[in-house]
């Protein structure tokens, strides 16, 4: 990784911080909920990662599922959903992630590939979740 490139974990951490601020300043709908999907252990020795991966698979983790799932709009009957996958500036989607994105696009479910906190917030603004007056610098 380039010394100036921010890790995916750091991008996700700052994205969640932005969501908390957006909630605090009431620029998110009351019905907005989100969850980060833990797609497995990435640290430790090979055996630890293998065991963690098998446990995660047994619990329903699927390859290709995005980092975040969102739901909103219950108060006005829209009941919208969306997904965001975060990658570093050099990160690429796996074959499974490409297939998941294509499935979403085929049935009209919102999906975004974000490479920064600002990208993630922009997707939520485009989807009508976060008010356009909320800015990330």
Q: Cα–Cα distances in Å, from 56 out to 10, 49, 60, 79, 98?
A: 22, 10, 6, 28, 21
Residue with tokens 């969102």: 70
User: What secondary structure, in 3-state letters, does 66-100 show?
Assistant: CCEEEEECHHHCCCEEEEEEECCCCCCCCHHHHHH
Alpha helices for the chain (secondary structure H): 8-24, 46-58, 95-107, 117-126
Nearest residue to 38 via CA among 60, 15, 16: 60
Residue with tokens 């610098």: 137
pLDDT band at 107 (very low <50, low <70, confident <90, very high): very high
pLDDT band at 104 (very low <50, low <70, confident <90, very high): very high
Take residue 20 and report the two structure tokens written for it: 């908390």
Which SS3 state, helix, strand or coil, does residue 36 take?
A: strand
What is the per-residue pLDDT across 3-56, written as a single tens digit (0 to 9) for each? 578 899 899 999 999 999 999 999 999 899 999 987 765 666 778 777 777 777
Note the pLDDT of residue 15: 96
Q: Taking 90 as the threshold, does the pLDDT of residue 60 lie above it?
A: no
Q: Taking 90 as the threshold, does the pLDDT of residue 58 lie above it?
A: no
> Per CATH, is 8-126 categorized as 3.20.20.140?
no
């Amino acid at each position: 990784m380039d010394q100036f490139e921010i890790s995916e974990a750091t991008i996700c951490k700052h994205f969640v911080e932005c969501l908390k601020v957006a909630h605090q300043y009431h620029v998110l709908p009351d019905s907005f909920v989100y969850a980060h999907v833990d797609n497995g252990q990435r640290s430790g020795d090979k055996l630890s990662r293998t065991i963690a991966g098998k446990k995660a698979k047994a619990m329903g983790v699927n390859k290709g599922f995005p980092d975040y799932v969102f739901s909103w709009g219950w108060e006005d009957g829209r009941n919208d959903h969306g997904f965001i996958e975060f990658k570093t500036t050099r990160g690429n989607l796996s074959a499974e992630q490409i297939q998941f994105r294509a499935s979403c696009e085929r049935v009209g479910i919102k999906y975004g590939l974000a490479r920064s906190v600002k990208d993630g917030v922009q997707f939520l603004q485009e989807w009508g979740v976060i008010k356009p007056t909320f800015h990330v610098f």
